[in-house]
A and B are shown apart, each in its own frame.
Chain A
Amino acid sequence: MSDSKVNMVAPPEGVTGEGFFATKLNDVVGLARANSLWPLPFATSCCGIEFMATMASHYDLARFGSERVSFSPRQADMLLVMGTISKKMAPILRQVYEQMAEPKWVIAVGACATSGGIFDTYSVLQGIDKVIPVDVYVPGCPPRPEQIVDGVMQLQELVKNESVRRRSSPEYKELLASYNIQ
């Protein structure tokens, strides 16, 4: 790999000396988490097809540390909700979210997952943030693969700067309680 074009992520701020590098645990954990997000694609419709393109050879989401698509909610960090979520589907989405282990993040990909999109009807949930908390919204109907990649990168920024204690903070518990999630 001597002539490789691999971009290494920059190390976090810290003190370098001979044989050691001292930094904050927060930063290291954030760095590690941000660059190894395992996605759980919850693809229901059109946006799922664009996600297929994002994962495939042309756009290759694996470049951002998301090589391993995890279809088990237990082993996933990042829930990508792509496509329309109907009211019939909403309890299932919620169950999948509850099954994920902390820390977990959610990206709502596309207009339908974000707000119901053009389907302002009796059968469609008007945005997944009615049932689960969302970290990043990606607009578009469907978003281009570049946009999905950008959404993932935005999430990486969030993850990088998240305190390791956030998940046990009262604010976070309050957030989950507002969705009735234990």
Chain B
Amino acid sequence: MALETTEIQERLIENFGSKISNFDQSKDIFTFEVDSDINTAVILFLKNDSIFRFHFLTDLCGIHYPDNEENRQFAVVYHLHNWYENKRIRIKSFLNGSNPEIKSLSNIFLSANWMERETYDFFGINFTGHPQLKRILNMDEMISFPMRKEFPMEDSGRTDKDDRYFGRTTTNQPIVK
């Protein structure tokens, strides 16, 4: 295996210093965190560097951590893949909870376009520099961001299913209205 994780780690620290942290190889994929202001620089470096050649963006998604401190409430997770060496890496960028904003990858990978739109749709993460950042799966009229943890899964306005039939309310009210 030509591309060792220690090598990746060393070269990244050499180039970006302390802005890259929390290297982790405990599970399947080598993971590290990148400060949100240099995400495009790091990914561009990983893509174009003649040794790294992480040329394929496998996946991009968001995660919401409402219990974290203010500056780490959202994460954007990138999975990159180098097919020459068959090496995957996972990059995380943590974002501010009240104003999640990160630079868009859509100039680096065409495929990032819709994945970022989806992440925006689900979490309200603002990708600056995205050519067309608007909702993709949900209706344009929607105002909330459904994948945030505080958003309920079920539609609150539904009328057909009475919660009392499902044992989901504790109050013992009469069912007949």
Contacts and interface: CB of A to CB of B under 8 A. Distances in A.
Contacts of A116: 160
Contacts of A123: 137-138, 146
A115 B158 CA distance: 12
Contacts of A130: 160
A120 B154 CA distance: 6
Main secondary structure of the interface of A (DSSP, over half): loop
Main secondary structure of the interface of B (DSSP, over half): loop
B153 interface: yes
Contact of B155 (A115, A122, A127): A122
Nearest to B140: A88
A120 B161 CA distance: 10
A120 B162 CA distance: 13
A122 B152 CA distance: 8
Nearest to B151: A122
Given A87-B139, A88-B139, A115 B146 contact: no
B99 to A, nearest CB: 24
A93 to B, nearest CB: 15
Nearest to B154: A120
B64 to A, nearest CB: 15
A124 B138 CA distance: 10
A123 B145 CA distance: 12
Contact of B161 (A122, A124, A126): A126
Contacts of B138: 88, 123
Interface string B139-177: 100000010000111110010110000000000000000
B146 A122 contact: yes
B165 to A, nearest CB: 13
B160 A121 contact: no
Given A88-B138, A88-B139, A121 B153 contact: yes
Nearest to B166: A120
Interface string A97-141: 000000000000000000110001111101100100000000000
A126 to B, nearest CB: 5
Contacts of B152: 122
A176 to B, nearest CB: 20
Nearest to B156: A122
A120 to B, nearest CB: 5
A58 B153 CA distance: 40
Interface of B: 137-139, 146, 151-155, 158, 160-161
27 contacts: A87-B139, A88-B138, A88-B139, A115-B160, A116-B160, A120-B153, A120-B154, A120-B155, A120-B161, A121-B153, A121-B154, A121-B155, A122-B146, A122-B151, A122-B152, A122-B153, A122-B154, A122-B155, A123-B137, A123-B138, A124-B155, A126-B155, A126-B158, A126-B160, A126-B161, A127-B160, A130-B160
Given A123-B138, A126-B158, A127-B160, 4 more contacts: A120-B161, A122-B151, A122-B155, A126-B155
